């Protein structure tokens, strides 16, 4: 794709999406008026490109359906548009590594931060794939099954947490445990990683569950409660068939004439790949304050949205597969950027992080920017009123929204600090609505960025926004929300 010609967004149409209000919106309107000239529609951006869907052509995403984050093609698009000369890129919410590998393939050195072990394991598997000899992999498959002992009792078994108990048919769980125990006998660490990853990829196929929004949906045959309409998932694969098909798929895709590069259409053959991606494990709130100042040329990321989506529930099967117990899963949930109603305040913990590295002044600066943002305080006040009037379907929403933006302010401050002059931040995020009230995430976060010294270059919107849920449409009508990619520059 070439550079977009940026079509001006219909201002009346956008304002109409903000005018139907239950409560005063003076500060949000002022903020919109401030940035309206920078809001433009990019016809090249669509939901496929901005979401995981464009990754479906890549071999890795055929193996493991990771639905969070953006596509590799989107990374190429914005790097070529804003910073075609390779440098060092950071993704503070790396997910399964789409941004890290796509930029690496364009000659960039890439560093990612990821909290969720699911993403970490996926990235480690991608690195292992690149080092494995396809012939040796096929040979290992034969040796694996030739030495597989069906009668041997596994020494280690998956320890379920309450929300995954009973997820697998009994025979499938028996074979899964035996398979994982047998994987431990593989000496080559990359080979072991890829064999374990094959089992990781089929968990949903062999279970009674399906990922559905922010939770696992259970087939009625699992004898769990399922609501008014029983859910029938359809075919549940037996473990032996599923794992054989997955190993076969991976083996075939590793063949030189069939293996698809992460960037088959956009790669410039003259560009050399950068170094292997560097992954920092943990929370960006803890790691970014410790990174060196002015160390990145480009930051591109898609943080968790402020939409109550709980990754620890969606990927619960994968987490127990990786050995996480119930307490560890709960801890992961609390470490995430506040995007679920169960997240508790982190401000005391964040304060200690800054105090321990003698940056209390930075901590106070971020707090001051957050509390001096009129539109942010307007949102907080309105949500508090909606809660009092019992117009919110969960009492944790005001706390979640407040903490989401407060924590995001710290992330944005650190983006500015670690970015080199002339560098860019590209952030993919969605606006949200609660109790009929729009929360302009794009505008508030951009105002934070500007307060910290970044220049808001553009707020690109997708041609089609996001509508209300069916429940909200019945009460508030269809009000389309902007789906955006923000561009901030450090001068």
C-alpha R_g of the chain = 23
Contact in structure between 479 and 63 (CB atoms under 8 Å)? no
Q: Is residue 338 part of a domain?
A: no
| 245-280 tens-digit pLDDT | 999 999 998 876 554 443 344 444 445 787 899 999
230-257 burial, b for 16+ CB within 10 Å, e for fewer?
A: ebebeebbebeebbeebbeebbebbeee
Q: Which of 218, 235, 253 is the last residue of a domain?
A: 253
Q: Is residue 362 part of a domain?
A: yes
Q: Is residue 340 part of a domain?
A: no
Confidence of residue 22 (pLDDT cuts 50, 70, 90): low
Domain shared by 59 and 164, yes or no: no
Contact in structure between 61 and 250 (CB atoms under 8 Å)? no
CA distance 439 to 402: 11
pLDDT higher than threshold 70 for residue 345: yes
Domain shared by 99 and 239, yes or no: no
Q: Is residue 328 part of a domain?
A: no
What domain range includes position 43? 7-127+262-308+345-489
Domain shared by 182 and 215, yes or no: yes
pLDDT higher than threshold 70 for residue 310: yes
Neighbours of 364 (CB within 10 A): 12
Domain shared by 61 and 95, yes or no: yes
**What is the per-residue pLDDT for 46?**
78
pLDDT higher than threshold 70 for residue 356: yes
Domain shared by 211 and 304, yes or no: no
Domain shared by 109 and 31, yes or no: yes
Show Cβ contacts of residue 64 under 8 Å, excluding neighbours closer than 6 positions: 96, 122, 125, 197, 200, 201
**What is the per-residue pLDDT for 40?**
96
Phi, psi of 14 (to 5 degrees): -65, -45
Q: Is residue 139 part of a domain?
A: yes
**What is the per-residue pLDDT for 450?**
98
Q: Tell me how many domains the chain contains.
A: 2
Region 434-439: what's the mean pLDDT?
94
Q: Is residue 321 part of a domain?
A: no
Q: Is residue 153 part of a domain?
A: yes
| 203-231 tens-digit pLDDT | 999 999 998 877 889 999 998 766 678 88
Domain shared by 41 and 176, yes or no: no
Give the range with max mean pLDDT: 46-60, 302-316, 438-452: 438-452
Contact in structure between 443 and 28 (CB atoms under 8 Å)? yes
Region 49-76: what's the mean pLDDT?
73
Tokens of 177: 């445990």
**CATH number of domain containing 23:** 3.40.50.150
Q: Which of 253, 280, 300 is the last residue of a domain?
A: 253
Domain shared by 407 and 469, yes or no: yes
Contact in structure between 199 and 186 (CB atoms under 8 Å)? no
Report DSSP state, residue 343.
Answer: P
Confidence of residue 395 (pLDDT cuts 50, 70, 90): very high
Domain shared by 144 and 238, yes or no: yes
Average pLDDT of every residue of the chain:
88
199-211 burial, b for 16+ CB within 10 Å, e for fewer?
A: bbbbbbbbbbbeb
More confident residue, 240 or 465: 240
Confidence of residue 7 (pLDDT cuts 50, 70, 90): very low
CA distance 307 to 293: 31
Q: Is residue 414 part of a domain?
A: yes
Domain shared by 34 and 151, yes or no: no
Q: 325-329, long-range: CB within 8 Å, 24+ apart, which pairs? A: 325/159, 325/161, 326/161, 326/162, 329/161
């Amino acid at each position: 794709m070439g550079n977009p010609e940026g079509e001006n967004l219909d201002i009346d149409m956008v304002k109409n999406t903000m005018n139907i209000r239950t409560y005063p919106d003076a500060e949000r309107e002022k903020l919109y008026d401030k940035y309206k000239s920078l809001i433009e529609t990019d016809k090249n951006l669509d939901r496929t490109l901005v979401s995981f869907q464009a990754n479906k052509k890549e071999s890795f995403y055929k193996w493991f359906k990771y639905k969070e984050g953006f596509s590799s093609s989107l990374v190429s698009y914005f790097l070529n548009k804003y910073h075609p000369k390779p440098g060092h890129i950071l993704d503070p919410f790396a997910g399964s590594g789409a941004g890290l590998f796509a930029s690496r393939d364009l000659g960039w050195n890439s560093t990612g931060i990821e909290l969720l072990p699911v993403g970490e394991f996926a990235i480690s598997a991608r690195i292992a794939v690149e080092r494995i000899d396809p012939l040796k992999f096929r040979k290992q498959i034969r040796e694996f099954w030739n030495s597989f002992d069906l009668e041997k009792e596994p020494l280690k078994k998956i320890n379920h947490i309450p929300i995954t108990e009973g997820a697998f048919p009994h025979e499938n769980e028996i074979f899964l445990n035996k398979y994982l125990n047998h994987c431990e006998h593989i000496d080559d660490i990359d080979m072991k990683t890829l064999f374990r990853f094959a089992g990781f990829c089929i968990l949903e196929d062999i279970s009674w569950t399906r990922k559905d929004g922010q939770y696992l949906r259970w087939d009625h045959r699992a004898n769990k409660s399922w609501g008014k309409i029983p859910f029938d998932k359809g075919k549940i694969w037996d473990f032996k068939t599923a794992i054989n098909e997955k190993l076969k798929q991976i083996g075939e895709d590793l063949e030189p004439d069939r293996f698809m590069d992460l960037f088959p259409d956009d790669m410039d053959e003259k560009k050399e790949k950068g170094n292997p991606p560097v992954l920092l494990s943990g929370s960006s709130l803890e790691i970014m304050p410790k990174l060196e100042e002015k160390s990145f040329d480009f930051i591109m990321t898609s943080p968790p949205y402020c939409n109550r989506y709980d990754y620890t529930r969606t990927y619960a099967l994968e987490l127990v597969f990786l050995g996480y117990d119930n307490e560890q899963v709960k801890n992961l949930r609390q470490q995430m950027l506040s995007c679920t109603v169960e997240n508790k305040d982190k401000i005391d913990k964040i304060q200690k992080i800054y105090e321990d590295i003698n940056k209390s002044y930075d901590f106070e600066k971020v707090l001051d920017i957050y509390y001096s943002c009129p539109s942010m305080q307007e949102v907080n006040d309105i949500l508090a009123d909606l809660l009092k009037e019992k117009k919110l379907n969960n009492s944790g929403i005001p706390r979640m929204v407040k903490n989401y933006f407060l924590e995001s302010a710290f992330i944005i401050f650190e983006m500015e600090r670690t970015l080199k002059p002339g560098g860019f931040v590209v952030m993919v995020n969605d606006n949200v609505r609660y109790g009929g009230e729009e929360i302009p995430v794009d505008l508030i976060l951009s105002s934070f960025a500007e307060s910290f010294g970044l220049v808001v270059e553009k707020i690109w919107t997708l041609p089609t926004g996001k509508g209300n849920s069916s429940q909200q449409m019945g009460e508030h009508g269809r009000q389309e929300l902007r789906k955006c990619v923000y561009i901030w520059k450090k001068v």
